[in-house]
Amino acid sequence: MADAALVLFSGGQDSTTCLAWALERYERVETIGFDYGQRHAVELECRTDVLAQVRETFPRWGARLGEDHMLRIDALAAVSQTSLTQDIAFQMQADGLPNSFVPGRNIIFLTFAAALAYRRGLKRIVTGVCETDYSGYPDCRDDTIKALQVALSLGLDRRLVLETPLMWIDKAQTWALAHELGAEPLVELIRTATHTCYAGERSHLHDWGYGCGACPACELREAGWRQWRSVNP
């Protein structure tokens, strides 16, 4: 077991799986979340509940789970015109990207996380970005993360490692990873307590979790669940 890590934790499926992944590996794990004026701000409430359930359901992990940090960076919404920051329909844009893409979001998140990690003495930052099964966001690509790791390490004059445990797996494999890490209790926690839906819908619990069932995030989550459960009933 080596050193410590800071996990970018939104309260969604991917970041909760990454949190479990980090808690299995590191002696101390802190979390960071961002209020950036997102339309699905309910995720900020869910993340608190998820952290509490992790502590209660998995005492071994709870002993390693350290301080949670919440940063408000709503200036990001002020310079964005996206379906994640405004009440507009989800659709593809002329440039081939979905209008749920918030330009610079992950770059900004990781930069703030690096500044916090610097102050907290943490050299590893864990994020749930993924290139295999994603919405086409360019700041989720492996090349972007590697370039950012170099830039942040140089800019802070301190070696930082950006960990991306989901980079090369799809949503079905993400469900499988959660099951590998915490068996059915973690799968159930993710299914019922986390939030991924872009519309912020939590009035109906599907077999794969809460959500509107129609936004890109829900479609990915549901498809992954059904694919995983088809071979792991």
Phi then psi dihedrals of residue 201, to 5 deg: -80, 120
Tell me, yes or no, whether 190 lies in a domain. yes
Tell me, yes or no, whether 110 lies in a domain. yes
Question: Does the pLDDT value for residue 86 go beyond 70?
Answer: no
Tell me, yes or no, whether 156 lies in a domain. yes
Report the percentage of the chain scoring pLDDT > 90. 68
Tell me, yes or no, whether 233 lies in a domain. no
CA pair distance 119, 108, nearest whole angstrom: 17
Tell me, yes or no, whether 222 lies in a domain. no
The residue segments making up the domain with residue 96 are 4-196
Phi then psi dihedrals of residue 156, to 5 deg: -100, -5
- Binned at pLDDT 50, 70 and 90, residue 100 comes out as low
Tell me, yes or no, whether 227 lies in a domain. no
User: Nearest-CA neighbor of 217 among 67, 50, 101, 59?
Assistant: 101
Question: Which of 3-17, 47-61, 115-129, 208-222 shows the lowest per-residue confidence on average (mean pLDDT)?
Answer: 208-222
Question: Does the pLDDT value for residue 1 go beyond 50?
Answer: no
Q: Is 204 helix (H, G, I), strand (E, B) or coil?
A: coil
pLDDT value at residue 76? 73
Residue 165 sits in a domain whose CATH number is 3.40.50.620
CA pair distance 38, 86, nearest whole angstrom: 8
pLDDT value at residue 43? 85
DSSP bridge pairs for 206: 209
The domain total for the chain is 1
Tell me, yes or no, whether 226 lies in a domain. no
Tell me, yes or no, whether 207 lies in a domain. no
Predicted confidence (pLDDT) per residue in 195-233, tens digit: 989 888 999 999 999 999 988 889 999 999 999 999 988
Report the percentage of the chain scoring pLDDT > 70. 85
